[in-house]
Structure 1
């Protein structure tokens, strides 16, 4: 079992960006901090569903507990302990449902901090097993198992024997394991508050009944009892002919036989746990009909539980690439390598729609071209969203779970779809393999391992998966083995999470595929133990996850996704141009200095940079159809759209007048209605010309060039020409109105327009009238004063 230092774990769990200095520092601390290293060392972890004992918790776990505990004392250097550890882990997974009646624990006696505990319990050899019954006293040293069996079945039976030997008051956490009599069964529903009783008929030496009783310990509304074949009255009453067999008995005295694929413990437990009304303790089920009626929850989508949905796979891609990866501002080092492998595997094997596959291949090609050791997620996102190019490649946005939807929003979803995605990829890699050629048998598994280690949001989940990968992934040597490895590890995770808070009560964690889904996958050993027929399992997996059986229901329309992407591309280009314009205006504000020749040259360069942007938004500025309409090649250089700003000759210079401050140039005001009208008329003209509908292709171009000349060398030549073209129906394109800013006269090298002269004349007349009014007013006042003075 691989060992990890606490430093490495903490550094790894909290990183968002690979930093070489941090990596070196973490390794250095892991070498100088020996105590954390020892604390994490051992053959087992908490994810193995085994209690790890230490001096701090040994008393609380072993003494005065309501559960019986079976403890393994081992040493990490002991070869027999290492060989026995897989059996101990399998036993823990096998009897997981027996909690809280029975627990498994382990303690590493090679650890110096645990040495005193092992000495107190009299441990002298490894591995050693000791059984501690419920409510053991602090003076107890446990019951030592000598010559204990080295298989799961034998250890399971030993635990049952020790449980039945409990002499004191029966622990309330442990169900009754004794055989049932006819009198008890007749009065069962009067003394027990359950709806259903399951009776397992078997021989005296069989453990099936007791094992099933403990398997149903964590479930409500059902009880299990064992009935021996010697109870002839009950055997006759229920019509039992096979041993073992299981019969259901309810409060209405109705008797029915439980139908199972094989008469064995695993099949009984699975069937009983899924009977109507039987639920795990603390997880009451909400009927699906209530979910459909509840408008506050997400819309429930009816789906086929025996199929894979492409909607789940595309949603997993969206969440993985747009949500999970977005937490990394930059990606470098091992993380970048993991991302490249992940995208490469998706580009090779993802069985999606053409547009999605094209998008993945585009991203993969871009990533492979990145030669640096670091990339920005923003750049990656631009390529993923196709904002740097235009093509029919798109990954739809948003999640829409179908086969992976949960009864509530926090159930299933992305983890379910992520597992499904890699099951599909392993099967696709198997199906696409070319016989006789070398194939990367663990290519998909390594890509999954790298992604989970670097990016998967649930860090404890990533740690658990890494421990499974370190344990056995390197032993995968064929593509078929890769498919089966991922399936078996998924079942191991299901076993660990069964009954957990994250388990959806409507979709319990089971060992998949179920007997109903694949009867041929399940079999029995000679000892009556369940086993998987891996040949049949492989056939089932290849069929279930085949690209030909993936359902396309509930998918987002591909055309709508492409339209949305093109709109986003246009918006991105407009935003980019707006940003360039803002930068240019900021430079103009910062460079607020007299208008000199260098500044004028910079302005000309900026105007030249603006022209390509306009061409990208409006298409070709000079339509190819103009050649067919009669425009000479020489005129193309002078061709200008009606809405374009007239260009100023390079030889033009601004006047410099000593003692006179020129008025700042006014901002051009565009008549939007006129612009739209003229723009669409021009487009209609070009479309008609290029489509060949117009018979008369004469373009009469009139040039009316006016020289606006300043004294001192200021000269602007502006093209105020108009274009007219006669279509078959006599459609006429009106030219832009010619500007009426012609100057009548110039004085001191400053031109005056008609408006300026008019204003001057008006002001002169107003001032004359004002003076005349003042003259009349004062004259009248003087006459009045003289008249008053002449009176006697």
Structure 2
């Protein structure tokens, strides 16, 4: 053995340990990235004076806080939220100086991890505005704002009123008093009370003094100017004004004559701010603290592929729309009862009869319909549990991961679910016509169109979108639809009206502009000489278009290639699919469900269950694979360490055994050691 072997063994041991640790580090990084996926892209960025919270930061920021929070719960895909974002940004900019007392805040409910938070706060439609008072303790302290959210001046006045009521009730130490000057207080006394502050602004307004309160909040903590207010009958007010309107004055400290007094009644609090900034803004700008909210890092979802053909009906889009509807939209409220429950029963019954997709997909809605018809109240957790139960029994026909293909937008928050929902509705109406065109008892409104309208009104989280669809239904006389063929024709017309109204809006994807369907690029013959759509030619095209459900991408139907040979030569080749029950619209599911019930009764043990062969959606969770990989990696590192220790000890033992005379088996077998005699 080489005498250097212990050093070599030690080096190998160290290298092995370092390699093992490095492998674990790489694994942790991979797991961190894989766990960080999200479906929500923020509508706001770091340049906006807005605090963005999520499920991890919400409680710490809101509950027990020494400031109030005005929160917008929004969904990044919601058309109304996209359209409202510029208004809310302008509003937040206007209230930027209010941050020490009232913080403008947002929560993106389209982010999957925020769904429990939004459900806890009963946010069933977007955008939803809530005022959380000073020192809030729980979700019940959030007050829903039902005023005009687009009138940002009125919105600011209302928030000032909420803050004033909050201050009067809780008397926060760091807040202004929100009380008017007493009628006996003179201007000289006010000057003395503000000390060395250079300027004094006085607002004249009777209760509710929202303009005065708003300016009190805005300039609270500013050492350059102080704000006070008086009622209309105060001597200071009667000295300068006599018309009984809301007015404002700006004084230099100690000077009885104002630098400025409003010549006409003031309508908006911001008018007072603008005038103060105009006159003395440069002198007081650095006097007050500037508070910049610390935003949670916006979650950016993986960009959608804009190269897909938008003019296709893809099974993957229908699956994703169904999955999002069942797992996100319906259980958005904590409890479903009364009218929403009745609407949900109608919609599930429609889906049971006319839902597109493979047999397992349609059996899913068949079983959901059977179950929901027997319920009067269902909680969100009960609903999700039932959907999961049926999904597992059928081999998970719907994916948990949402993927858009023809409905993919140029940004993650564009198109997506709304496109998928429209596509689903069109395919349902076409399928209903196929099945019922010769059925004299078929009622298009009762059986299909009204259940869809009611579902949109009660369960589409984009509240303005839902309300607008009901308006379109009334405008286009939904109640007059009677012929079977009008079940799909009516929805097609309404969709074109909606596209025309929204074309060019903020919700319009710049890469996929909203236009009339079918466009000339798809059906030139569908247009007459004047360039208008010819319904006689367009409707057959629409029917054929929504009947042709494609199964492209990763959701191809399971199949196999068959090649016939003879004497080494290829005779024929072709693609064959598996059992036709996994193809789109392969017969009715009623008899299949009835047969399954009989089989389960006759052969209850073992219970027959569906295997996951429909698109391979039910593959094992990657989390389990990660667990096994970590476990095996740790075992591998431990074995390497043990082996290195063994090699090191073995080397020491044999060197001692062979090279030390005291331990040799045959000490005479080696040459005697020469000793130097001194």
Q: Which TM-score band applies after superposition, normalised by the shorter structure?
A: 0.3 to 0.5
Structure number with greater CO (CA < 8 Å, separation at least 6) is 2
Q: TM-score, structure 2 length as denominator?
A: 0.38
Q: TM-score, structure 1 length as denominator?
A: 0.32
| Greater C-alpha Rg | 1
